[in-house]
Amino acid sequence: MSTQPFIGAQEYFPGIGAIPYEGTGSDNPLAFKVYDAQKRVGGRTMREHLRFAVCYWHTFCNAGHDPFGPGTRRFPWEKGEPMATAEARVDAAFEFFTKLGVPYYCFHDIDLAPDADDVGQYEKNLRHMAAMAGERQRATGMKLLWGTANLFSHPRYMNGAATNPDFAVVSRAAVQVKAALEATVELGGEHYVFWGGREGYACLHNTDMKRELEHFARFLAAARDYGRSIGFEGKFFIEPKPMEPMKHQYDFDSATVAGFLHAHGLQDDFMLNIEANHATLSGHTFEHDLQVASDHGLLGSIDANRGNAQNGWDTDQFPTELYDTVGAMLVVLRQGGLVGGLNFDAKPRRESTDMEDLFIAHIGGMDAFARGLEVAHALLTASPWEQWRRDRYASFDTGDGKAFAEGRLGLADLAALATKNGEPAQASGKQERYENLLNQYLLR
Ligand code: XLS
Ligand code: CA
Ligand code: CA
C-alpha cells in the first residue's frame, strides 16, 4: 500500500492527514473519539465488525442541492466538463477513503462515470472510470462493498425501470444493470444493490400492480443469472423504502420484501440492505426493520444514516443517535455480523460547506457506531439483558408450553389446560428496566 497522502496529481484535502484515534479526552474534531480500528470487541476488531463504507454519490457528487436551490459546496474536483470531473473525483475519493481509514466504498454507475443516452458511450464511460477506480483500489488496498445502477434519475425512468409499463424502458434498464454488474465484478465488489427508487406508482388508477411486480421478479432473476454467469459470487441486496420519490414503492419495508423474495424464489441469492431513514419513513424504527430482516435470515447490509424526528422526508443525516446505533448493533451482533457492511448513505447538511465537514460527518458516524458496538456487546455478554428476554418466554421451554411450541397441542387441548389452570398470573413487561439498563451501559 502506498504511503503517499494523496493519489493523483493534486491533493484535494490539504491540511488533513490520516484521521487518528485520540479517545474521548480529545477535542480534535479531526480525530476519532471511540472508533479505534484495531481495538477488539469480543472476537473481532472494530474494523472487522463495522466494515464501514463511504458512498460516492452523496460524499463526492452531492453539493447540497435541494428542491429550492442548487448546491452550496464548492468541490475542488469540479472541472466544468463531465469526464474531467469524473477523473478528478476518483482521485479525491480515494484520497478521502485513505485518510479516513475506511475499508470500503460504494457507487452507482453514473456517480462514478458520466451518463450518456447513447448505450455505447455510456458503457465506454463506465469501463473507463471502472478501470481508473481499479488502479486506485490496487494502489490503496481499498475495496468495493457494493455497486449499483441508478435507475431513477433519468427522465426515461419516470414510470419505473424494471416495473415500467413500457417494455422498451425495462430493456433499457438492463443496459445499466448489466454494465454496473460487470463493473462490480471487475472491481471485486462483494455485493450488488437494487434500490427501486421508481419501482412503484404515483397513481393506482393507471397501474396494474400485479403485472409490474411479476416483471420486477423476472428482471431480478435475469440480473441474478447474468451476474452468476460472469462470476459474481456475492449477494444481491434489495434496499426497502416505502415512498419518495413515488407515492408508493413496492419494496416498502423488510416484511414486504421478505414476502416478495419468498413468493418468487429469490431468497437464496437476495438479501436486504436496510437504510435507517427508509425504515423510519415506513413508520418503523431502524431497529425494527433490521430485526424483521434478520429474523428472515435476510439481513445482509446497512445504509447507516438517520432521519429527522420532526420531518417526514428522507433527510439522510449522518447517524449520531446512540440509541439507534446500540439498537442496530444488538441486531447485528445477535446474528453474528453482516456479510455486507455499514455504508454511510448520508450527506452533510446544505449549510455545511467546508471540505473538512465531509470528514467530520463521517468521523461522527463512525464513532456513533463504534460506541453502539461496544454498548451492544456489553449488554449481550455482560448484562442480564438476554437472560431477562429468555426468562420472559420460559413457559415455552418445558411441559405444556413446549408441547404447544412443537405443535403437539390442538386448540381444544389448550382450552382444556386453561380451564384446569385458571386465570393466568400477571407478568410485567419491565420495559423501563431494559431502558434503564441500556442507559447505565451507555454512561459507563
Ligand atoms: C436513495 C437510496 C439510494 C440507494 C442506492 O434513497 O438510499 O441511495 O442506497 O441506490
Ligand atoms: Ca440507501
Ligand atoms: Ca435515504
Mean pLDDT of 61-78: 97
pLDDT band of 1, cuts 50, 70, 90: very low
Mean pLDDT of 173-184: 98
Q: Report which protein residue has its CA nearest ligand 1's atom 2.
A: 195
pLDDT band of 163, cuts 50, 70, 90: very high
Note the pLDDT tens digit of each residue in 323-341: 999 999 999 999 999 999 9
**Chain-centre distance for alpha carbon 377:** 21
Note the pLDDT tens digit of each residue in 343-372: 999 999 999 999 999 999 999 999 999 999
Pocket test for ligand 1, best of 192, 303, 315 (most atoms within 8 A of CB): 303
pLDDT recorded at residue 313:
87
Round to whole Å and give the CA distance between 31 and 97.
15
What number does the ligand 1 atom closest to the CA of 241 have? Answer: 6
Catalytic one of 49, 58, 108, 362? 108
**Average pLDDT score, the chain:** 97
Residues annotated within a binding site for Mg(2+): 239, 275, 278, 303, 314, 316, 345
What number does the ligand 1 atom closest to the CA of 303 have? Answer: 9
pLDDT band of 8, cuts 50, 70, 90: confident
pLDDT recorded at residue 13:
98
* Known active-site residue 108: yes
pLDDT recorded at residue 257:
98
Q: Report which protein residue has its CA nearest ligand 1's atom 3.
A: 195
The neighbourhood of ligand 2, an ion, using CB within 5 A, equals: 275, 303, 345
What Rg value do the Cα atoms of the chain yield, rounded? 24
Pocket test for ligand 1, best of 252, 317, 345, 347 (most atoms within 8 A of CB): 345
pLDDT recorded at residue 5:
61
* Known active-site residue 36: no
Ligand 1 binding site (Cβ under 6 Å of any ligand atom):
108, 148, 193, 195, 239, 241, 275, 303, 314, 345
Task: For the chain, give the percent of residues with pLDDT over 70.
Answer: 99
Q: Report which protein residue has its CA nearest ligand 1's atom 5.
A: 195
Pocket test for ligand 1, best of 55, 154, 239 (most atoms within 8 A of CB): 239
pTM: 0.97
For 40-382, the fitting CATH number among 3.60.15.10, 3.30.530.20, 3.40.50.280, 3.20.20.150 is 3.20.20.150
pLDDT band of 3, cuts 50, 70, 90: low
Note the pLDDT tens digit of each residue in 185-235: 999 999 999 999 999 999 999 999 999 999 999 999 999 999 999 999 999
pLDDT band of 9, cuts 50, 70, 90: confident
pLDDT recorded at residue 95:
98
Q: Is residue 281's pLDDT more than 90?
A: yes
- As annotated, the residues of the chain forming the CATH 3.20.20.150 domain(s) are 40-382
